[in-house]
Chain A
Amino acid sequence: MALPDLAKKPQRFTGGHRACAGCGFPITIKIILQAAENPVVVGCATGCMEVTSTIYPYTAWRCSFIHTAFENAAATVSGIEAAYRSLRRQGKIQQDIDFIAFGGDGGTYDIGLQSLSGAMERGHKLVYVCYNNQGYMNTGIQRSSATPRGANTTTTPAGTQLPGKPQHPKDLTAIMAAHDIPYAAQASMSHWNDLYRKAKKAFAVDGPAFLNVLSTCRLGWATAPEDTVDAAEGAVQCNVWPLYEVEQGKWKLTFKPKKPLPVADWMKQQGRFKHLFRADNSQLLESIQQQVDENWQRLLERCGE
């Protein structure tokens, strides 16, 4: 699909929403919704996306949309999908409809993990999209289990004793793949074609699909608004955020940086890692690089590279 052709399809998410200038997730929404062939019903977890796109009486959604709470987007949409199956079986509805649940990394990795795991395990035909901006950005940049090690957040502030978040992020995409769902993938809004193709696959499978999409939060990452796409691109180029998919249990790398950049190069662009470039944190920086390298090696092995 060429972009000028993609632009010919009517958009289902409008301007006039109240996300920050330079926010990443509207781009993620755009690419995913443009990939859907059928009418969609969207469920959304509490978070920036829901809060900024549905300030009454203004909604940026041109499709059916529901928000109920923070931790239950997957459960809510699984109910909608069950309703659809029931009514379709009864002949009360004929149309093909796609079901999408959106949650940030807070609503997905943390508070919503149980609900997500349940919905995936039950096999509902829905696409769960985590717009992963690596922190609780809506409540003011707190750490999540998706926040990179060393990041300065308001609950892991870089101080004299603690240099930001102590833990590495958990590998949620692998956890979702371990549910043996037909399709799980990791993508980035910076690589639109890769994300678009993965969204297409996610809609096409007969069962649950999970997309973990890196979506820059320029406020939380402390980057310039115009650098939103570059910041996500950098995460991919330095192997912090590898792009891959797990299709029917088969792991496949979908992008391989020609020459992976040092993690420090990516971190330098972002204010949240500023303290890591002090001399006393050089060891931590090395240790982060080492962990990223190990994760990359493990991924290469899983993908048979």
Chain B
Amino acid sequence: MTLSSQTKNLLKAHEEVDAKIEPNAGWRDLPIGAVIPQGGTATQFATGDWRTIRPVWSKEKCINCHRCWLYCPDMSWISEDGRIQGVDLTYCKGCGICANVCPTKVHAIEMHPEDDFKEDEAAKEGGK
């Protein structure tokens, strides 16, 4: 039995590990069975715009306990080689768990309203 050209295209779609699913793809161009042919594509979806309060991290105060990294539901705390590097705001929804689990005596994370950053960011945008 021979494959139809359409099927060849479909199979190709899920063979290509880097295949991206286009938002306006027609039904012939999607991998069959609604499979998502690669892992971790949610990283392309920024949930940071849900945030109304923002964690601000003090490198000086941080003792690297990694409780923020552990208890962040959005995998936003960056750890490299066992050292906290800061928070990636792409996904941070501003729940505030990190500030809450940061040991009281350390207090290296503070939550600030997003509004506080609007001026800064507008200035940054303007500078471009």
Task: Answer yes or no: B122 CB below 8 A from chain A CBs.
Answer: no
Smallest Cβ-Cβ distance to A61: which chain B residue: B39
**B24, chain A: closest CB distance, angstroms:** 12
Contacts of B73 in A (CB 8 A): 19, 21-27, 228
Smallest Cβ-Cβ distance to B88: which chain A residue: A15
In the complex, are the beta carbons of B101 and A11 less than 8 A apart?
Answer: no
Given A14-B40, A16-B46, A16-B47, CB of A226 within 8 Å of CB of B100: yes
Given A3-B65, A18-B47, A56-B34, CB of A192 within 8 Å of CB of B42: no
Q: Mark A52-72, 1 if CB is under 8 A from B, else 0.
A: 011111111111010000000
Choose one: A8, A22, A62; the contact of B95 (CB below 8 Å): A22
In the complex, are the beta carbons of B66 and A6 less than 8 A apart?
Answer: yes
Interface footprint category on A: 35 or more
Q: Mark A1-40, 1 if CB is under 8 A from B, else 0.
A: 0011111100101111111111111110011000000000
Contacts of B9 in A (CB 8 A): none
In the complex, are the beta carbons of A4 and B95 less than 8 A apart?
Answer: no
CB neighbors of A among B73-100 (8 A) = 73-76, 79, 81-83, 88, 90-91, 93-97, 99-100
Task: Answer yes or no: A126 CB below 8 A from chain B CBs.
Answer: no
In the complex, are the beta carbons of B83 and A16 less than 8 A apart?
Answer: no
In the complex, are the beta carbons of A21 and B93 less than 8 A apart?
Answer: yes
In the complex, are the beta carbons of B41 and A57 less than 8 A apart?
Answer: yes
Smallest Cβ-Cβ distance to B73: which chain A residue: A26
Smallest Cβ-Cβ distance to A53: which chain B residue: B42
Choose one: A6, A22, A63, A192; the contact of B96 (CB below 8 Å): A22
Smallest Cβ-Cβ distance to A233: which chain B residue: B101
Contacts of A55 in B (CB 8 A): 42, 45
In the complex, are the beta carbons of A60 and B42 less than 8 A apart?
Answer: yes
Task: Answer yes or no: B107 CB below 8 A from chain A CBs.
Answer: no
Task: Answer yes or no: A157 CB below 8 A from chain B CBs.
Answer: no
Contacts of A225 in B (CB 8 A): 95-97
**A43, chain B: closest CB distance, angstroms:** 15
**A185, chain B: closest CB distance, angstroms:** 19
Choose one: B34, B69, B76; the contact of A7 (CB below 8 Å): B69
Residue from A6, A226, A227 whose CB has the most chain B CB atoms within 10 Å: A226
In the docked arrangement, what's the CA distance between A55 and B44, Å? Answer: 12
In the complex, are the beta carbons of A14 and B75 less than 8 A apart?
Answer: yes
Choose one: B41, B79, B83, B94; the contact of A58 (CB below 8 Å): B41
Given A4-B82, A8-B82, A57-B36, CB of A15 within 8 Å of CB of B66: no
Residue from B34, B45, B73, B100 whose CB has the most chain A CB atoms within 10 Å: B73
Given contacts A59-B40, A63-B39, A65-B39, 9 further A-B contacts (CB under 8 A): A16-B90, A22-B95, A24-B73, A27-B72, A54-B36, A56-B34, A57-B36, A226-B99, A229-B101
Ordered by A's residue number, 5 sampled pairs between the chains whose C-beta atoms are within 8 Å are A3-B69, A4-B83, A15-B90, A21-B74, A22-B97
- Which A positions have Cβ atoms within 8 angstroms of B? 3-8, 11, 13-27, 30-31, 53-63, 65, 192, 224-230
